[in-house]
Amino acid sequence: MQENDHTDAVDTYSRLFRLDGRKAVVVGAGSGIGRESALALAAHGATVVCADRDLKAATETASMGKEMSAYALDVLDGEAVARAAEELGAVDVLVFTAATNVRKHLLDYTTDEFDRVVSLNLRASFDLVRAFGRGMAERGRGSIIGFSSIRSVAVEPGQGVYAATKAGLVQLLRTAAAELGPSGVRVNAVAPGVVDTPLTAQIRSVPEWSDAYASKSALGRWSRPDELAGAVVYLASDASSFVTGSQLFVDGGWTAIDGRYTPPS
Residues recognised as catalytic: 162
Could you say whether residue 54 binds ligand NAD (CB under 6 A)?
yes
Interactions with ligand NAD, residue window 145-184 (CB under 6 A):
147, 149
DSSP 67: T
Rounded least distance, CB 197 to ligand NAD, Å: 3
Rounded least distance, CB 161 to ligand NAD, Å: 12
Indicate the residue whose CB is closest to ligand NAD: 32
DSSP 195: B
Kindly list the distances between the CA atom of residue 140 and the CA atoms of 137, 161, 186, 235, in Å, as whole numbers in the listed order: 5, 35, 10, 17
What DSSP element (H or E) covers 138? Answer: helix 124-139
Q: Is the Cα torsion angle 76, 231, 200, 147 positive or negative in sign?
A: positive
- Can you list the positions of beta strands (E) in 73-184? 93-96, 142-147
Interactions with ligand NAD, residue window 111-140 (CB under 6 A):
120
**Binding residue for ligand NAD (CB under 6 A) from 22, 38, 41, 52?**
52
Whole-angstrom Cα distance, residue 230 to residue 227?
A: 7
Whole-angstrom Cα distance, residue 85 to residue 95?
A: 13
Stretch that binds ligand NAD, among 5-13, 40-48, 94-102, 229-237 (CB under 6 A): 94-102
**Binding residue for ligand NAD (CB under 6 A) from 19, 99, 170, 173?**
99
CB 51 within 8 A of CB 93: no
Rounded least distance, CB 120 to ligand NAD, Å: 6
Rounded least distance, CB 237 to ligand NAD, Å: 20
Minimum CB distance to ligand NAD smaller for 97 or for 237: 97
**Binding residue for ligand NAD (CB under 6 A) from 195, 231, 232, 250?**
195
Nearest to 20 by CA among 213, 179, 237, 183: 237
Nearest to 176 by CA among 138, 139, 146: 146
Single-letter code of the amino acid located at 57 = A
Minimum CB distance to ligand NAD smaller for 96 or for 143: 96
DSSP 224: P
**Binding residue for ligand NAD (CB under 6 A) from 23, 34, 160, 188?**
34
- With b for 16 or more beta-carbon neighbours within 10 A and e for fewer, the 125-144 pattern comes to bebbbebbbebbbeeeebbb
Could you say whether residue 97 binds ligand NAD (CB under 6 A)?
yes
**Binding residue for ligand NAD (CB under 6 A) from 26, 39, 48, 57?**
57
Minimum CB distance to ligand NAD smaller for 137 or for 149: 149
| Footprint on this chain of ligand NAD (rule: CB under 6 A) | 27-28, 30-34, 52-54, 57, 73-76, 97-99, 120, 147, 149, 192, 194-195, 197-200, 225
